[in-house]
Structure 1
Amino acid sequence: MEYRKIGNSDLELSVITFGAWAAGGWMWGGTERKDAVAAIRKSYDEGVTSIDTAPIYGQGDSEEIVAEAIAPFSRDKVQIITKFGMRWDLARGDFGFKSKNNQGQDIDIYKYAGRESIIKECEDSLRRLKTDYIDLYQIHWPESTTPIQETFETVAELIKQGKVRHAGVCNYSAAQVQEANKYATILSDQVPYSMVKRDIEKELVPYVLDAGKSILAYSPLERGLLSGKMQPGHKFEEGDHRANIYFYKDENLKRTAAFLDKLRPMAAEKGATLSQLVLRWTVEQPGITIALAGARNAEQSVQNAKAINVKLSKDEIGFINTALAELELVKS
């Protein structure tokens, strides 16, 4: 495994970081707890020491699964990344969307990052994670009802108390990162980034490169689209959020499959899967420090971790980029 420093800090994360959204089951058609625990432990054996989770993932389930999975490990050998600012148990802030919990009950999701809510969320996360500190604490989404100053002055308090080591953000624009950085040192911005979703290259990437901050790329495989395993006619399990997203419509599955076919010979030559090739390409892009890779079982997590063993030359990255420029997905 390779490790990279986050921002200008002493925090080092594994370049392939375990993304524990799917492990929590919520919006992914459920989960098998023992499989999720095994996935995290096997990835650790491959050098994946960093785990990204959030309270909203399974409404606490993901954090509890992470705690169970890392229980045998020395705490200082693992980096826990979690989040705040999405509440399913409080109707305050910006209404996000309606959903169902893992028991099938209707829930309303709100984005809220007021001071008292952050303090409560932090305590709840520490309890579920069975730890006394969080390595990187991130706001999950921007919200309009709380000043950024209030939010990040609160996070700065938690850092002073030792409950949080470092502050980060998720889904923030460059301007929002700059604003938050006035009140707490922001190391990173966790944002969606993949071969087919590259809009952050316009403003955010230049900003982080100039400001010495990091990008943690989530959904680098575009939630399975770039794995090479999805073909037209793919059927999702009930409750899987991907079913209604344009990326997974048959025409786009067809176009993506044709693009990935161009990469298959390169992957085969390297003894790698398409997913591994895609993950390695992702962490070679300017400004991208870490790729979050989710897994629901040990086999997937080991395959993700081994992506770091793939080496790409400048010419090979150029070949991939040329093929990528010819891929056009239908957004309607």
Structure 2
Amino acid sequence: MKTITIPGLEKEVTNLIQGSDYFKPSVYEKVCNVLDRYVAIGGNTIDTAHIYCGGESEVAIGMWLKERNNREDMVILTKGAHHDQTGSRVNAEAISKDLYESLDRLQTDYVDLYALHRDDPTVPVSEIIEILNEHIKAGRIKAIGGSNWTVQRLQEANEYAAKNGLVGFTFSSPNLSLAKANEPFWAGCVSADSSDLAWHKEHQFPLMSWSSQARGFFTGRFSPEDRSDSDIVRVFYSDANWERLRRAEQLANDKGVTTIQIALAYVLNQPFPACALIGAQNEQELQSCYEGSLIELSEEELNWLENV
């Protein structure tokens, strides 16, 4: 499997990252089957978060890591400081609380990649960078990033870090997919647009996309007439996206692959380091993602798919 390099991390990161938002100890056999098969095709990076399944996702991953005795072989990406019913939690206390709890659940003393799950633009980046650097210095975090952070805030944070001799963000995890979002899927979420992609290209800044395959938009399950899934309708139904789907179908036919594999290849062939978070739940879905990750698209093909 192809890999990218994240500054601050010695291990390479595979460009397919296994998602875990359905992992729980109660379905531990399924967790093991998915992770074992993912590793078997060359994957080494697992995405999780403090809030996934009320923390059970991290618990299940910790069980698997301990049973397989492979912690040093794996890259763990977890996220913290998500808002709760009281509002924003992007502050030193919440960041530390969530990190310590995540480490305990994962049965490890460090995470390779730590991302803030949301941003709060009212909080100065100085406060955020300072607390994250305390954890980096203590060895609890190897590299830091922002999930659903704008490139403007990432830039501001990294400028502060550079001025003060601190470690800045070295990866970002917004939504990026061939189907462009009409509006955020959830409040506070960020989808990369053309100007964001230009920034990532200029800085060669690694991007790890969630919902990289647009939540199944390219599987053939949806049509303009079928409005049964209100969230997919709200976020992805547009004339431009139907045309992108048509073009992806055409290119897939030309290359002898599936449409959803073309959608995945769109994310992975960006002109900067890019990874895709995948939600594969069985061997067939894993194999489809793996084959899609091997497809090479030219700049002309990328532009033709996207620019409707």
Give me the TM-score of the superposition, normalised by structure 2.
Answer: 0.82
Residues of 2 paired with 1:191 and 1:204: CA distance? 10
Residues of 2 paired with 1:8 and 1:213: CA distance? 13
Residues of 2 paired with 1:124 and 1:185: CA distance? 23
Could you tell me which residue of structure 1 aligns to residue 13 of structure 2? 13
SS at match of 2:76: strand
Residues of 1 paired with 2:89 and 2:73: CA distance? 32
Aligned AA for 2:78? T
More helix by share: 2
* Alignment CA distance shift 1:208-1:248 (3 Å): closer
Give 1:279 shift.
1.0
Same amino acid, percent of matched pairs: 23
Aligned AA for 2:152? A
Q: Does 1:194 align with 2:177?
A: yes
Could you tell me which residue of structure 1 aligns to residue 112 of structure 2? 135
SS at match of 1:60: helix
Could you tell me which residue of structure 2 aligns to residue 78 of structure 1? 74
The CA deviation string for residues 150-197 of structure 1, in whole angstroms up to 9 with x for no partner, is 222111111111111111111112221122222432101111111122
Give 1:6 shift.
1.9
* Alignment CA distance shift 1:178-1:325 (3 Å): closer
Residues of 1 paired with 2:241 and 2:155: CA distance? 36
Number of aligned residues = 290
* Alignment CA distance shift 1:262-1:169 (3 Å): closer
Please list every run of 5 or more consecutive structure 2 residues that lacks an aligned counterpart in the other structure: 162-166, 182-190
Please list every run of 5 or more consecutive structure 1 residues that lacks an aligned counterpart in the other structure: 26-30, 96-110, 237-241, 327-332
The CA deviation string for residues 83-136 of structure 1, in whole angstroms up to 9 with x for no partner, is 111154x73xxx2xxxxxxxxxxxxxxx31221221111110011111111001
Residues of 2 paired with 1:277 and 1:56: CA distance? 31
Residues 200, 206 of structure 2: 8 Å contact kept: yes
The CA deviation string for residues 13-32 of structure 1, in whole angstroms up to 9 with x for no partner, is 101111223x248xxxxx95
More strand by share: 1
Residues 217, 288 of structure 1: 8 Å contact kept: no
- Bigger relative contact order, structure 1 or 2 (CA pairs below 8 A, ≥6 apart): 1
Residues 126, 134 of structure 1: 8 Å contact kept: yes
Could you tell me which residue of structure 2 aligns to residue 233 of structure 1? 226
Could you tell me which residue of structure 2 aligns to residue 292 of structure 1? 277
Could you tell me which residue of structure 1 aligns to residue 185 of structure 2? none
Residues of 1 paired with 2:276 and 2:173: CA distance? 10
Residues of 2 paired with 1:53 and 1:319: CA distance? 32
Matches within 5 A, 1:29-40: 32-40=27-35
Could you tell me which residue of structure 1 aligns to residue 44 of structure 2? 49
Residues 50, 81 of structure 1: 8 Å contact kept: yes
Q: Please give the root-mean-square deviation of Cα atoms over the aligned residues, in Å.
A: 2.9
Residues of 2 paired with 1:203 and 1:263: CA distance? 23
Give 1:308 shift.
1.9
SS at match of 1:292: strand
Give me the TM-score of the superposition, normalised by structure 1.
Answer: 0.76
Aligned AA for 1:192? N
Could you tell me which residue of structure 1 aligns to residue 307 of structure 2? 325
Matches within 5 A, 1:239-254: 243=231, 245-247=233-235, 252=238
From 148, 167, 175, give the equivalent of 2:144.
167
Could you tell me which residue of structure 2 aligns to residue 223 of structure 1? 215
Residues of 2 paired with 1:210 and 1:325: CA distance? 20
